Amino acid sequence: MYKYMRIQGRDNSYVTKYPKGVFGLCWNLIKAKVMTEEEEKLFISIDEWFKENLPEPESCKNHEMVITFFKCESTEHMVNKLAPAVALLDKYNIPYDVVYTNFVGTIVYEDEWQVAVSVKDGKMV
C-alpha cells in the first residue's frame, strides 16, 4: 500500500525543475489553444472544484520550490474527479506518469488530502 500519488508530465516546471503536475499540463494545453472551447470549460470546472474543495498550500500560492502529492488513503474521489483532465492528456498525446511512492522527502505542508514537498535542483529534498 502506497501513501502518496502524483500525476506528472515529463517536462519540467520552470519554477521547481521537477516534472509538471496534471494541472500545469492542462493549463499548458489551454495556453497553447489546443483544447476545444468545451474541453477548456471542462478543465476549468475541474480546476475550480479543486480550488473550492482542496486547500491550496501557502507555499504553492507563493510559487516556492515545492510539489504536491495526493494522499492515497483519502483522495480516491479526487483522483476520480481528475479522470476527465487525464483523458485530455491522453487525447492530445501529452506523456505523463502516475507515480506512487512512500518516500517524498521533506514535507513542508500537510492536510487531510495532500502533502507539499520541498524540491531543489529538480529533486525532492
In this prediction, residue 63 carries a pLDDT of 80
- The neighbour count for residue 106, using CB atoms within 10 Å, is 13
pLDDT digits (tens, 9 = 90+) for 2-22: 999 999 999 999 888 999 999
Helix axis angle for 83-91 and 22-31, nearest 10°, is 50
- Output Rg (C-alpha) for the chain, integer angstroms: 14
| Spatial distance between the Cα atoms of 109 and 116, rounded to a whole number of angstroms | 5
Residue 38 pLDDT > 90: yes
Using DSSP, state whether 80 is helix, strand or coil: helix
pLDDT in tens, 65-94: 999 999 999 999 999 999 999 999 999 999
Q: Provide the whole-model pTM.
A: 0.91
- State residue 99's pLDDT score: 96
109 Cβ partners below 8 Å, 6+ apart? 57, 58, 59, 60, 66, 115, 116
> Per-residue pLDDT averaged across 90-117, rounded?
95
